[in-house]
Amino acid sequence: MTSVEPIPGGRAAARRARQDGASRRPGGRRWLRVVAITTGATLVVGCGAGYLYYRHLNGNIQAGTKNLTDEQGARTAPDSKGRTPLNILMIGTDSRASSENVALGGSADEASRPGLADVQMLLHVSADRSNASMISIPRDTMVTIPTCHDDKGTTYKSTTHTPINEALARGGPGCVVGTWINLTGLDIDHYMMVDFSGVVRMADAIGGVPVCVDRNMWDRYQPGHGGTDLKLPKGTSKVQGENALKWLRTRDAWGSDLGRTKAQHMYLSSMIRELKSSGRLSDPGQLMSLAEAATKSLSVDKDIADLKKLYDLGNELKQVPTERTTTLTVPVLPDPKNPAAKLILKQNDVQQIWKMLLADKPLDDKGPAASASPTPAAAPSPTAGADAPAKSTIAVTVQNGTGVTNRAGDVKKALVAAGFTKAATAPGGGTRDTTKLTYGAGQQAKAQVVAAALGLPASALAESGTSTTLSLVIGADWKSGTAFTAAPAPTALPTTVEAETSDNDKDCMTVVPQGNRYTY
């Protein structure tokens, strides 16, 4: 079913809406689906006949391997009550692998190609579940995609300067997870993925999602150029079914892919508010509809591919209030190699965000900051006993990426004194923000011995290539001393970030007219 339902008073309410450049995350739709699943599970688990329906809902859920790479992220140390944050990667795919998706997305000739992960958002939920953040990376951002191994035994070699949305085609969502681990240095607990038909099913089950535009808009379809053909009046309207999908896919009417991520965030935040305020979560009939739509829409990692596990996860997620849920897009710059079409991460600012997440710092200013900064988890302990690699057998080169004179030499001397007699300095190193110890395939135990000797966190270790010599590049986070000490985590977002919270119902998307091309 497809509908656009104008909301009375929407235009007046939206007239002075302020526009932020922040992006909201479409992938958070999955968060809402989890809420629907939890309530549906509560409804059916208690009754005898309900057990069969419980199994039916379980059978709807598609499952896959969480991480198809060798990347390992750092975990935040537990807080004083033993709680840890949750990191969930939410993915939206443009796959045409079904006739339903071809009908919705067009391009029948692309039915055989692997889907692209055009929507990617990291949902970070604080250890105490008092706040959350949803962070998007635009689909055309150029990144390094690590080596991925799919479940059929195919290996996809690492690529550099590749659009992030191509990671999904290199084995599945587990490759997207590994790419995010490589980018952020964070451990990721789960993934949730949805396709075109899943978006439509959920929008229909919810009864539509309110969105707002600052003028009459029409994203006209033009052969050879694209366009979703979404047409909305000025003000606030409810988009449902296929029009919900069109809203999430529209780009040109907003001026750029950054505008699209902002519109996706608006949709997600509005969906959260709609579910919490509409009473659907307390109506048995509507709950059943939501649970059916949610389980049919989701692909998740094997660790949570069970209704009861999703129920437990949903109970944790729904504790977070909308006013403490922050949405944003990472800072990006035009790609020097293709400034008109591609983006690159603004590394210093992006690293600041990842450091805040690792330290579990809230990204909003609506609640008290944590009393103490949780520290990154230490690197895994080296193999014990007779199997532990001897320090004298480990070859490691040390490079200086700090800009501080003699840093590589100082650390190399400390390694030699500690028994790593094959340690040596090497030229180069460039300018690095963070320290990284890279090791080849099969050399992880050796890297753990070096990391333990230097006090490096797990986030500093990365597998790459096949070399038997380890490579330590000292970054700006370790400018003095011979034992690594993590710098205090930042307490505020970079000034280049425009963030919003999900309780904002006064925002409207700004339509870029381009004559009358996107208006009517």
Q: What is the pLDDT of residue 472?
A: 97
What is the CATH code for 3-372?
A: 3.40.630.190
Other C-beta atoms within 10 Å of 8: how many?
9
Indicate the burial class of 455 (C-beta count within 10 angstroms; 0-12, 13-18, 19 or more). middle
Tokens of 94: 């443009």
Topology agreement, domain 3-372 and domain 385-474: no
Q: What angle do CA 265, 270, 276 make, to 5 degrees?
A: 130
Can you list the alpha helix ranges (DSSP code H) found in 46-193?
A: 50-60, 99-105, 173-184
Spatial distance between the Cα atoms of 51 and 220, rounded to a whole number of angstroms:
48
User: Domain extents for the chain?
Assistant: 3-372, 385-474
Asked whether 43 and 288 are in contact (CB, 8 A), the reply is yes
Which of 138, 214, 218 shows the shortest CA–CA distance to 514?
218
Question: 6 has which bridge partners?
Answer: 237
Whether 219 contacts 245, CB under 8 Å: no
In what helix (H) or strand (E) does residue 201 lie, and over which residues does it extend? helix 196-206
Q: Would you list the DSSP string of 336-363?
A: TTSTTT-EEE-HHHHHHHHHHHHTT--S
The size of the chain, in residues, is 520
Nearest in space to 507 (alpha carbons), one of 5, 8, 20, 7: 20
- Please report, in tens digits, the pLDDT of each residue of the chain (520 residues total): 444 555 444 444 433 333 333 334 444 444 444 444 443 443 333 445 566 777 888 888 899 999 999 888 888 888 888 899 999 999 998 764 555 554 555 554 554 556 899 899 999 999 999 999 999 999 999 999 999 999 899 999 999 999 999 999 999 999 999 999 999 989 999 999 988 777 888 888 888 999 999 999 999 988 877 789 999 999 999 999 889 989 998 999 999 889 999 999 999 999 889 887 876 666 666 667 777 877 887 899 999 998 888 878 888 888 899 999 999 999 999 999 999 999 999 998 999 999 999 999 999 988 765 444 455 555 666 654 557 799 999 999 999 999 899 999 999 999 999 999 999 999 988 888 789 999 998 898 999 999 999 999 877 888 888 899 999 999 988 999 999 987 778 889 999 999 999 999 999 999 998 878 899 9
Strands 325-329, 500-501: pairing is antiparallel
Are 511 and 217 in contact by the 8 Å Cβ rule? The answer is: yes
The reply to whether the predicted model has a pTM over 0.85 is no
Token pair of 20, please? 């932020």
**In whole angstroms, what is the distance from residue 144 CA to residue 154 CA?**
19
Q: What is the bridge-based pairing of β-strands 132-136 and 119-125? A: antiparallel
Instruction: Classify strands 86-92 and 119-125 as parallel, antiparallel or unpaired.
Output: antiparallel
Alpha carbons within 13 angstroms on the beta-carbon side of residue 137 total 31
Task: Please choose, from the candidates 51, 37, 27, the residue with its C-alpha nearest in 3D space to the C-alpha of residue 329.
Answer: 27
**Residue 280: predicted pLDDT:** 64
Residue 41 is predicted with a pLDDT of 40
| Residues 17, 350: Cα–Cα separation, whole Å | 28
- For residue 88, the one-letter residue type is I
Structure tokens at 403: 């800009």
Q: What's the first-to-final CA gap in the chain, in angstroms? A: 24
423-to-31, 48, 129, 484 alpha-carbon distances in Å: 48, 66, 45, 17
What's the CATH code, domain 385-474?
3.30.70
Residue position matching structure tokens 């425009």:
498
Cβ within 8 Å of residue 475, ≥6 positions away: 401, 402, 432, 433, 434, 435, 436
H or E, element range at 121? strand 119-125
Beta bridge partner(s), residue 3: 240
Helices (H), 328-457: 347-358, 407-417, 444-454
- What single DSSP character describes residue 428? -
Q: Check: CB of residue 373 under 8 Å from CB of residue 359.
A: yes
Q: Are 258 and 329 in contact (CB under 8 A)?
A: yes
Report which of 121, 295, 287, 114 is spatially closest to residue 201, judged by C-alpha positions: 295
pLDDT on residue 49? 54
The amino acid at 309: K
pLDDT at 415: 97
Name the β-bridge partners of 155.
149
